[in-house]
């Protein structure tokens, strides 16, 4: 896009330079020559008038009286009925010649060398060319600035759309003061909010359905096991068959839930999250510093987990934002490997979460500090979508822990260990 805008603007500048530069150059060259010719004509007319006065007074022709009117390097030729007079050096080849008639039957001719005129024409042509080059250079600068002003916002909006498709539902406050692009950014923010609500509702629905079905299946198992233990052979046989079907149904339910989890986590891949966590920490240092607080990072190297980068970035961003809004003192971002799990901790030195709010911190729409109550619920949904877990491990001071599955050895083969920084 930027290259096309630049090419179109430069083409317009080039066409303008050709359309205006050539006529301007030709006119300038013609103007220099016309000025010189007019000057010769005026001088010749003055000389003819003075000589006419001499002849009318029956005085001999005296060219010394008019030599001041002869340009430097020019030659004056006066032709009368009886004599020809000449004054001045030879003007050389292809001189500029201007003749005027005399009243007393004669002509006055001035022949000036063409060299000075050609020199002036070259100077004027150079000046016109310089103006054309300066115009083209100015047009190139304007084209570059215009192309950047238009292409950078487009790239930013495209990157925002890509992050939204990858699961980053955070609103982007940046606007570009271009009405059309700002409307697109507003639409993307609205879509992100709607998608985050959709993801949360899906998680709640799956959790509710799973809980209800498991509860009913557990009660059915207990009832069938009781019936299978009776002394009546027919009842025991029917109860055993029903119990077998119930067990199969429970297995099908587990398979369906596992398939749903796997489908949500299909974008998760082995990733060295150490680099990603350091990138996220770098983004949050300035907001914390603006509030007079610091961010301490304790991340082990080569922590390989199976995650989706945008989901993990969103989750850690939510936890750091929560610590910024509701916590106090130093915020700590730590990560370590514990057995078959990578644990990411976000904590602060504040008063923590009140006991009465601990059971509800991950409930959507519930907040004890006047916020929307969406962030932590969404963060837990995103972590669980990758097969992980988000817990409030310590209420006072608050510490949230993200448990991520460690990548298996067969997943690591052929894949890079270092993560690429993901666009924000």
Q: What is the mean pLDDT of residues 296-301?
A: 91
Which tens digits make up the pLDDT trace of 152-205? 787 888 887 877 766 666 677 788 777 887 888 888 888 877 777 777 677 667
pLDDT surpassing 60 at residue 299: yes
Q: Does the N-terminal peptide bond of residue 310 adopt cis geometry, omega within 30 degrees of 0?
A: no
Domain ranges, ordered by start, for the chain = 1-118, 180-263, 269-409
- The answer, yes or no, to whether residue 206 has pLDDT greater than 80, is no
Q: What is the mean pLDDT of residues 375-401?
A: 86
74 close to 111: Cβ distance less than 8 angstroms: yes
Contact 76, 63 (CB under 8 A): yes
* Reported pTM: 0.45
Are 88 and 78 in contact by the 8 Å Cβ rule? The answer is no
Q: Which two tokens stand for residue 68?
A: 């001041």
Two structure tokens written together for 19:
């359309």
**304 or 201: which leads in pLDDT:** 304
* Fold entry, domain 269-409: Heat Shock Protein 90 (3.30.565)
Contact (Cβ atoms closer than 8 angstroms) between residue 91 and residue 112: yes
What architecture (CATH level 2) is domain 1-118?
Answer: 2-Layer Sandwich (3.30)
pLDDT beyond 70 at 136: yes
User: pLDDT band at 420, cuts 50/70/90?
Assistant: very low
Contacting residues for 303 by C-beta, under 8 A, at least 6 apart: 272, 273, 274, 335, 336, 337, 342
DSSP-derived 3-state class of residue 142: helix
């Amino acid at each position: 896009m930027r290259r096309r805008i630049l090419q179109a603007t430069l083409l317009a500048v080039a066409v303008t330079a050709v359309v205006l530069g050539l006529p301007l150059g030709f006119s300038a060259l013609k103007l220099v020559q016309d000025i010189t010719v007019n000057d010769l004509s005026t001088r010749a007319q003055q000389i003819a008038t003075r000589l006419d006065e001499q002849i009318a007074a029956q005085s001999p022709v005296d060219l010394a009286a008019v030599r001041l009117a002869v340009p430097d390097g020019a030659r004056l030729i006066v032709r009368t009925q009886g004599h020809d007079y000449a004054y001045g050096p030879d003007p050389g080849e292809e001189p500029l010649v201007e003749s005027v008639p005399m009243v007393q039957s004669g002509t006055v001719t001035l022949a000036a060398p063409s060299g000075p005129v050609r020199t002036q024409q070259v100077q004027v042509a150079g000046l016109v060319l310089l103006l054309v080059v300066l115009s083209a250079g100015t047009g190139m600068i304007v084209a570059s600035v215009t192309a950047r002003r238009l292409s950078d916002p487009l790239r930013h909006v495209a990157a925002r759309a890509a992050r939204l498709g990858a699961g980053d539902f955070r609103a982007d406050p940046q606007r570009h003061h271009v009405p059309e692009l700002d409307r697109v950014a507003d639409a993307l923010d609205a879509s992100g909010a709607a998608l985050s609500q959709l993801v949360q509702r899906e998680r709640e629905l799956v959790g509710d359905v799973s809980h209800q079905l498991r509860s009913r299946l557990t009660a059915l198992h207990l009832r069938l096991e009781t019936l299978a233990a009776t002394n009546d052979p027919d009842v025991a046989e029917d109860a055993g068959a029903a119990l077998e079907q119930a067990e199969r149904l429970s297995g099908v339910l587990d398979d369906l839930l596992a398939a749903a989890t796997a489908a949500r986590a299909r974008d998760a891949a082995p990733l060295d999250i150490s680099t990603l966590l350091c990138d996220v920490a770098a983004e949050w240092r300035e907001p914390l510093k603006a509030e007079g607080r610091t961010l301490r990072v304790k991340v082990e190297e080569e922590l390989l987990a199976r995650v989706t980068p945008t989901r993990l970035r969103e989750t850690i961003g939510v936890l750091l934002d929560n610590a910024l809004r509701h916590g106090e003192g130093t915020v700590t971002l730590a990560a370590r490997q514990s057995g078959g799990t990578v644990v990411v901790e976000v904590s602060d030195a504040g008063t923590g979460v009140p006991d009465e709010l601990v059971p509800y911190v991950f409930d959507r729409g519930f907040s004890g500090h006047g916020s929307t109550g969406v962030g932590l619920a969404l963060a837990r949904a995103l972590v669980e979508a990758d097969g992980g877990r988000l817990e409030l491990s310590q209420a006072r001071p608050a510490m949230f822990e993200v448990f991520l599955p460690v990548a298996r050895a067969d997943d690591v083969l052929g894949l890079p260990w270092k993560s690429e920084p993901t666009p924000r």
